[in-house]
Amino acid sequence: MANATATELKLKAIQIRQDLLRLIHDAKMGHTGGSLSNTDVLTALYYGVMRHDPARPKWEDRDRFIASKGHSVESLWCILADLGYFPKAELSTYCQFGTRLIGHPNNKVPGIEMNTGALGHGLSVSVGMALAAKKDNRPYRVFCIMGDGEQAEGSVWEAAMAGAHYRLDNLVGIIDRNRLQISGTTENVMGLDPLDSKWEAFGWNVVSIDGHDYDELLHTFESAPAQPGKPTLVIANTVKGKGVSFAENVPAWHHHVPNDAELAQAIEELTAAASALEATAAKGSGTNG
């Protein structure tokens, strides 16, 4: 989807949301809320920004993506399958005995750079990857998505110091700022605000955006590094459960598995959203034509 429009990316994200909901429903396990909240960020990266090639998953100059919030893997599995990193039919094995598609990223699968799941590790490895690119004079960038609840891990801040110290402007950290975690709101569990000031104090260029707005997502990711010599931290303000009305901003949907009726309602809502997008796009095209 090179040069995809914002509308095309929104439609792709709706498809990915439908796929991940079916995935979780059929497997009877998964992390629904966080996968729905990070879908737009991942869609913007994989279909609009990152340099990567499913036919050459080990291409040396590929951009690297690390899902440090590895529990929200379902959106990533659906995107990698859609792009052809592995057969889409394999999605039916998710979380089944002997599968490669487990409940966290697994580097036995093409397109996965590292196993993640223990929160707080992804940014540290991303710093190492970005530093290696600098030392080897390689052009690739490293993108690392973290949860906002993950910011309570001390290793995140050790990595933040290292990223700034080594002037890794080829490193982009992303926080899926949906303000909810498994046991409640982030501010009740472990207050984070002012999150932007904290990261700025650690030497990062910080950008706060709407994590569901494709114009903002594409511009921000394509512009990095906006400040030479500084890593970029993107606070992507998102809605947990995005796209499913009865799941949005509901903490219980952190790992709630939709039942048959909930799945049907969610798919119906997303299908209606896609139809409305297509109608708006067609109307705009007709007007301009």
**C-beta of residue 145 within 8 angstroms of C-beta of residue 176:** yes
pLDDT beyond 60 at 270: yes
In a domain, 161, yes or no: yes
In a domain, 189, yes or no: yes
Q: Give the pLDDT confidence of 30-55 residue by residue, as tens digits.
A: 999 999 999 999 999 999 999 999 99
**Stretch 8-31: mean pLDDT:** 98
Mean pLDDT of the chain, nearest integer:
96
In a domain, 1, yes or no: no
Domain that holds residue 76: 6-288
In a domain, 193, yes or no: yes
pLDDT beyond 70 at 89: yes
In a domain, 266, yes or no: yes
Single pTM value for the model: 0.96
Q: Give the pLDDT confidence of 208-253 residue by residue, as tens digits.
A: 999 999 999 999 999 999 999 999 999 999 999 999 999 999 999 9
Quick one: pLDDT at residue 289?
42
Kindly list the strands in the beta sheet with 232-237, ordered across the sheet, starting from the edge strand earlier in the chain.
Answer: 64-67, 142-147, 171-177, 232-237, 205-210
In a domain, 110, yes or no: yes
In a domain, 31, yes or no: yes
Q: pLDDT-based confidence at 288, cuts 50/70/90?
A: very low
The total of structural domains in the chain comes to 1
Quick one: pLDDT at residue 2?
65
**Stretch 150-179: mean pLDDT:** 98
In a domain, 123, yes or no: yes
Q: Half-sphere exposure of residue 57, counting CA atoms within 13 Å on the CB side?
A: 16
Quick one: pLDDT at residue 117?
86
Quick one: pLDDT at residue 3?
76
**Stretch 69-88: mean pLDDT:** 98
The domain spanning residue 275 has which CATH number?
A: 3.40.50.970
**Stretch 20-36: mean pLDDT:** 98
